[in-house]
Amino acid sequence: MKLFLDSTRCQGYGLCQEHAPDLVELDEWGYAAVLAADVPPGEEETARACAASCPNSALRLEK
């Protein structure tokens, strides 16, 4: 499973980082940066919650 960020959709809410601090960090302006495109084993539910938390659908998961 991979986590992808569409940075053009990110508005800097930071909800994704709250749900998945090991997968996403925020830059100095509060915009998301995906730390690990490959979701580690056991982090799938966290990644789903992270992607679902984004109000602008900037994050998506693919198998």
Q: Which amino acid is at 30?
A: G
In the chain, domain spans: 2-62
pLDDT confidence tier of residue 55, bands split at 50, 70 and 90: very high
Question: What is the pLDDT, as a whole number, of residue 20?
Answer: 92
Is there a contact between 36 and 46 (Cβ–Cβ < 8 Å)? Answer: no
In CATH terms, 2-62 corresponds, of 3.40.50.300, 3.30.70.20, 3.40.50.720, 3.40.50.1360, to 3.30.70.20
At residue 24's C-alpha, the angle toward residues 50 and 42, to 5°, is 60
Question: What is the per-residue pLDDT across 16-49, written as a single tens digit (0 to 9) for each?
Answer: 999 999 999 999 999 999 887 899 999 999 999 9
Question: What is the pLDDT, as a whole number, of residue 36?
Answer: 75
Ranges of H-type helices in the chain: 15-19, 44-53
Question: What is the pLDDT, as a whole number, of residue 37?
Answer: 82
